[in-house]
Amino acid sequence: MDITVFKSKKLVVVGLVLLILIWLATSPLYASSSNIRLLSTILMYIILAVSWAMFSGPTGYMSLAPAAFFGVGIYTAAFLYARGSPLLPLPAVIVAACAISFVIALLVGLVTLRLKGIYFAIFSFGLIVLLGLIVQYWENQIIGRRGQHVVAESTETVFYVMLAILVATLLVAYFLRRSRWGMAMLSIGGNEEAAAHMGVNTTMVKVFTFAISATFMGAVGAIMATRWIYVDPSTAFNPMYSFMPVLMAVFGGMGQLYGPVLGAAVFAYLERMLRHEFPAYYMIVFGVILIIVVLFLPGGLVGLIPKLRDRLRGVIAKLRKGGQAEQHANT
């Protein structure tokens, strides 16, 4: 019976995911261009949040580097997909962004992932500043021009590429979480010294997971560059693209894979609405929301689901008891 219930729940989840993907895939056929752009932005934040949670969630290492790899992807597109003289087609540019982000994360991880706690967080945030300054120096001193123009892609192309990257990110995160590698990451988050004594190569696990998560951040940066058309270091390496995925993942909850997805979708929509209605105060509202979630919902939005489910079961049980009591009274 338990196996049957488990299988039925799994089928329901798979069916729901497929319905959402079908809805997303067909939305450009009937949705307006502005709504498709909004959906692309939401997908971008979901990819960044899930990629961040892929590494930082189980290991407990607070990475503030998403903006660094996001910027690497943007400038990979700026170099290889420049307006007027693109060197590669778009799919090859995205693959190149993935590869460059992976290599940089691998090298950075080998150096920094021996650090722990606040020291790793500070260094990972410093990576954003370092890469931004390197690109800024290259533009100012070598080519003598600030900012780069990228080939403009249509709204639909950006959306479908973003959707493909999202599917790849979710699949990798799902199978990684359920693999031995995922168990090793959880053991590192629980007690890294004990995991090392049990034979887990903690350095290798941390470095490669960090590099894998950076791959998707670079990919989404490359496709976003084709939507923005013009990019510069302050845009590409904006620290907001590090803080927002962290806030979104915490807001949604990292206990389940769909936590960062839910948090990013809700948070991105709130950002759009609040920025339009209260442009001077929306970050204050975000801060208040985050404080409320941390204080009263430590498990994020995902933590509400078991509570609501238990409350619903209690209501159903009371209704059943009431119905049975009424039947006994009638007999």
Rounded CA-CA distance 237/329 in Å is 71
List of the chain residues with pLDDT < 70: 1-10, 13, 298-300, 303-310, 312-331
Question: For the segment 214-263, what is each residue's pLDDT rounded down to a tens digit?
Answer: 999 999 999 999 999 899 888 899 888 888 888 888 888 777 778 888 88
Tokens found for residue 98:
């993935």
Rounded CA-CA distance 53/56 in Å is 5
Give residue 320's pLDDT.
Answer: 66
Give residue 73's pLDDT.
Answer: 94
CA nearest neighbour of 104 among 61, 72, 59: 72
The Cβ of residue 164 has, within 10 Å, a number of other Cβ atoms equal to: 16
Locus of tokens 């689901």: 305
Locus of tokens 């199978």: 175
Give residue 1's pLDDT.
Answer: 44
Tokens found for residue 208:
């490669």
Give the global pTM: 0.86
The Cβ of residue 1 has, within 10 Å, a number of other Cβ atoms equal to: 5
Phi, psi of 20 (to 5 degrees): -65, -45
Rounded CA-CA distance 175/166 in Å is 14
Amino acid at 239: P
90 touches 226 (CB < 8 A): yes
261 touches 52 (CB < 8 A): no
Give residue 316's pLDDT.
Answer: 66
Rounded CA-CA distance 226/77 in Å is 8
Beta carbons within 8 Å of 241's beta carbon, 6+ residues apart: 48, 66, 67, 70, 71
